[in-house]
Structure 1
């Protein structure tokens, strides 16, 4: 049986509980609560206008904080000869996101001239800092601003003012804020170096084969550098180890910008040397775009990461077969390719190059044109072949009366075959840039997107050139076919800058443009989760200068790109159809198997 209740004792206990509760309520009413952060600001009570020091804290009991005239006044401890982090004033418990740009601002002054170290760091070991700067304080209150891109994500970061290592003094703070910044494409290192690549394309008359390979090496290295610094995502070739001593004296993380810049510089210098443009000058331009909060130690560690990422990706392609210069042997029968414009076959062994993601260049090899299973004679006997030759004759000639003005515009808009243009891969990179800026992607998203596009374009080139040269039919171009069918004097719409008819110097089947376009659209649709992304597309072709075409989606762009080769008079319809299908298979495979988030 339970003991009897002592009602007198119970009444006394309830009175005590009520008294404590009332006292706590009155204290809460009297004590000012910390001010809420301004919209977008991660710092609570950074203005100190409410007279409270919360949630600011000190490391040493002998360091005192008060609020006077709307400013936080800190009387530091005497810590001469000790580390600067021995005496700290800080703000805990806010989150930072990897690769997100931020702006740290604060007003500060001291009763005597002294130095101050400020950092935004992990709250726990290894205490990695995303910004770590030292400033000189004077009795005059001054504004300090540091922009930085966080190299790591942490839900419990801390802002620290390091006050140790000096004689006791009074330091004043006000208007402390830490805010995420909007994405700025003008300072994105992935976009910057892709622009340098496109200018290299324009300066050098590069075939789409080697240029797509070099773009893949560049973007894979930049992607691996970004993944290594932030720890976010799956690397393509290497995750460079990043370690820290785990002390407050040596905590700076590699600069994300410096890592990407060094990876890009090393790759471009190794691939192109002094050709086209000065990469030293390009690097200086990249350095000028870095956030103001990057210090020398962060830059040095970023350089180390970027150099390792570049070296790993360059080494992986050192013996990939791209240097195979075995001369092309003509089949020399009706239907087989023969030189156009007096130029030798371009990249005849490219289908044998080691792919970046595919198992081989023939992994998605299409069937022969018109579905034939034999050789050239079988193809030339097919009605489908004759119909397609006639289509080109009607719509792709210089003097065609059936081609509409818009079809003529489409033909030149997607061409970009000539020296001085950014070539077909460059146009697709340009469109990727347009969509990236439109969608306001950040550095990590761009590293992955451009990496996927570059890998897909590189493997699309290998797949297309496998079909062009490594199959039983190396199909002749329309200008040759029409002449053989009794059409002397017919010339394609395609022309050089002087208006002289021009046909690319490699077999027709399958279309490289269409294969590139299919691979690009497959990656873009999967990355954005939809095809319905409208954008305004531009061109570098001299015969479509200033033309802008509105695309309703990625498939729209790819299909128009493929059809353009018919209107230009350099490809048959089955070149375009098989190229699109092959490219889409390549792009889907690359997306499914590489650079997983």
Structure 2
């Protein structure tokens, strides 16, 4: 760099308040003219009460305060209620000649709207940036605009990729001919969280749609794994861009040269979009779930990037895309050998009380899932419950009175022709079912309920990324823990349908397909996957929001409960009803529900205490 500058800072307050910025400018910017302060700054408390972070952006009071000018020959005054800037030009870099505003902060992941009116006496470009106050001068917003003689209104939305309590707004006047620029009505306003443009919510919707369109449905096991990988990749992309939070798998390095000619930060939304797209394309490749064409996620990516803020530039998108790709690659590689692709057929125990298909020609679904590498648990059986009724084996279990009582309860309340089940219990059964193709399946329903709770609370991109990431990891490990209990223990318990038909031939569960045919899910009963998912979901939600008392109204997609809404006062109430619903549906015993809730709760505690720290 050429000779140091800054020997004549005219106001001591700037040496104290903006010393970091000025020292950085001195160290990196080529200039030959001393820095000069046009006006003294006002305290941050003078900011308008309407949310605008800019002090005196209208200049109606006739003052230029607190606007700061870098060069002594650049003159500012207020004329006709506008800030008039007269610059001599002849500076090689845009940042050599600056007019700026300090004394405001930005939050990582928060969207802002920058607005101003501007014109000039000669046609020229003007660089506008919202940047870090110190090296590496990363820009949250950086655009070149073309000015003419007509006063023009400019509006740009942008998402800050970093948090800085002392950000700066700069109008760069260098690298141009001598000119007079007029500015007016300058505002920088934080925007409320918008679910329409939130990339986390967008891609969660894409995930649920993939669950729906899969021709044979996506099993809750592989479905929960897909959700965890996608959401974890989005979280890792987000924390890589913002530099905050504990990544799940890897923090992608984001380097800046520390000079004002290259301050481009990755776009947060572009990084999240690419991470989601890349994981979903990989996870639905090779027709692994027929009916889900991976090309749909390229279409979704174009749609998502079409919603990027107007203030984002092409370089920011490119860098964000690179971060997202690397985040997705890291977690996909980590999960490549996790055992989810093992297809060893299940061997029936072949004794009374053991699971067997309830429909001819069917086989056990994902029987090896209990051996999949967990996402947060130390091992798949970390929270394995004891056997039903504490039984030592099948014969011991079937000889217990508790077994007879549990079977009889399902016979009375869960049969298709039950006369004891109430109308409300029937509604509960179908509301939580979502077992058939065409629905978002049990994990999808809980993702939907997560959004129902999160959306009105305006968590923002980072808040949603963390919440959905935690929920997804908990549900993925809940599936592994539940399937461990189903298949990897000494009792692979038969479904109530098999047990009850011994004493009441022809008994069928309430559970049914859209064509009205009754069915029981094709895997052992103990423990309930629904209940384990519910316990994991409720545990994360309680921990995240710091309370159980969060009322919400949930939805369903089960074809036997179209349009049904059910309201809950706590997460625990919803989880307990979810678990109990399986008895009313005729596919589980109460101990399946109880053990599932307990296991899921333990999984949630593990996930929340060890993963995705903010």
Q: TM-score, normalised to structure 2's length? A: 0.91
Kept in 1, the 8 Å contact 2:41–2:66? The answer is no
Question: Which residue in 2 is equivalent to 1:28?
Answer: none
Aligned match for 2:259, one of 247, 256, 276: 247
In 2, the alpha carbon distance for the partners of 1:401 and 1:410 equals 16
Indicate the residue corresponding to 2:326 in structure 1. Answer: 308
1:114 matched to 2:124? The reply is yes
Aligned to 1:364: 383
Q: Post-superposition shift, 1:37?
A: 2.7
Residues 1:174 and 2:184 aligned together: yes
Q: What does residue 564 of structure 1 align with?
A: 581
Where does residue 10 of structure 1 map in the other structure?
none
SS in structure 2 of the partner of residue 547 of structure 1: coil
Partner of 1:6: none
Question: Is contact 2:252–2:327 with CA below 8 Å preserved after alignment?
Answer: yes
2:523 to 506, 527, 531: 506
Q: How much does 1:33 deviate? A: 7.8
Deviation for aligned residue 1:341: 2.1
Partner of 2:244: 232
C-alpha contact (below 8 Å) 2:42/2:66 kept by paired residues: no
Note if contact 1:118-1:134 (Cα within 8 Å) is conserved in structure 2.
Answer: yes
Q: Is the 8 A contact 2:370 2:484 kept in 1?
A: yes
- Secondary structure of residue in 2 paired with 1:406: helix
The question of 1:552 aligning with 2:569 is answered yes
Q: In 2, are the aligned partners of 1:104 and 1:147 still within 8 Å (CA)? A: yes
Tell me: CA distance 1:139–1:38, structure 2 relative to 1, closer, same or farther (3 Å): farther
- Cα-to-partner distance string for 1:55-79 (whole Å, 9 max, x where unaligned): 1111111110010000000001222
Task: Tell me the secondary structure at the aligned position of residue 348 of structure 2.
Answer: coil
The 5 A counterparts of 1:490-505 are 490-505=507-522
Native 8 Å contact 1:189 1:257 kept in 2: yes
2:134 corresponding residue in structure 1: 124
Unmatched runs of 5 consecutive residues or more in structure 1: 1-30
Equivalent residue of 1:104, what SS?
strand
**Cα distance in 1, alignment partners of residues 143 and 169 from structure 2:** 12
SS of equivalent to 2:196 = helix
* Alignment deviations for residues 259-295 of structure 1 (CA, whole Å, 9 cap, x no partner): 0001001001111137525111101110121111110
Matches within 5 A, 1:85-234: 85-204=95-214, 205-234=217-246
1:511-522 equivalences under 5 Å are 511-522=528-539
Find the aligned partners of 1:272 and 1:33 in 2 and give their Cα distance.
56
Query: Does 1:338 find its partner at 2:356?
Result: yes
Is 1:37–1:46's contact at 8 Å kept on the other side of the alignment?
no
SS of residue matched to 1:576: helix
Q: Are 2:369 and 1:350 aligned?
A: yes
**What CA distance in whole angstroms lies between the structure 1 residues aligned with 2:591 and 2:553?**
28
- TM-score between both structures, scaled by the size of structure 1: 0.93
Per-residue deviation, 1:32: 12
Aligned residues: 564
Cα displacement string for residues 330-367 of structure 1 (whole angstroms, at most 9, x for unaligned residues): 00000000012231000101000000000111100000
CA distance in 1, matches of 2:350, 2:171: 78
Pick aligned residue for 2:345 from 327, 337, 354: 327
Residue-by-residue CA offset, 1:193-238 (whole Å, 9 max, x unaligned)? 0000000000111100001011000000000000111111100000
* More off after superposition, 107-116 vs 71-80: 71-80
Aligned to 1:259: 271
Offset at 1:54?
Answer: 1.1
| Deviation larger for 506-515 or 82-91 | 82-91
> Aligned equivalents of 2:579 and 2:50: distance in 1?
48
Structure 1 residue corresponding to 2:75, chosen from 64, 69, 72: 64
Distance (whole Å) between structure 1 residues aligned to residue 330 and residue 461 of structure 2: 21
- Report the counterpart of residue 297 of structure 2 in structure 1: 279
Aligned counterparts of 2:310 and 2:277: Cα–Cα separation in 1: 21
Are the aligned partners of 1:79 and 1:86 in contact in 2 as well (CA < 8 Å)? Answer: no
Q: Deviation per CA, 1:115-163, whole angstroms, max 9, x where unpaired? A: 1110000111111000001111010001000101100000110000011
Q: Which has the larger radius of gyration?
A: 1
**CA-CA distance at 1:51 after TM superposition:** 0.7
Shift of 1:38: 4.8
Secondary structure at the residue paired with 1:445? helix
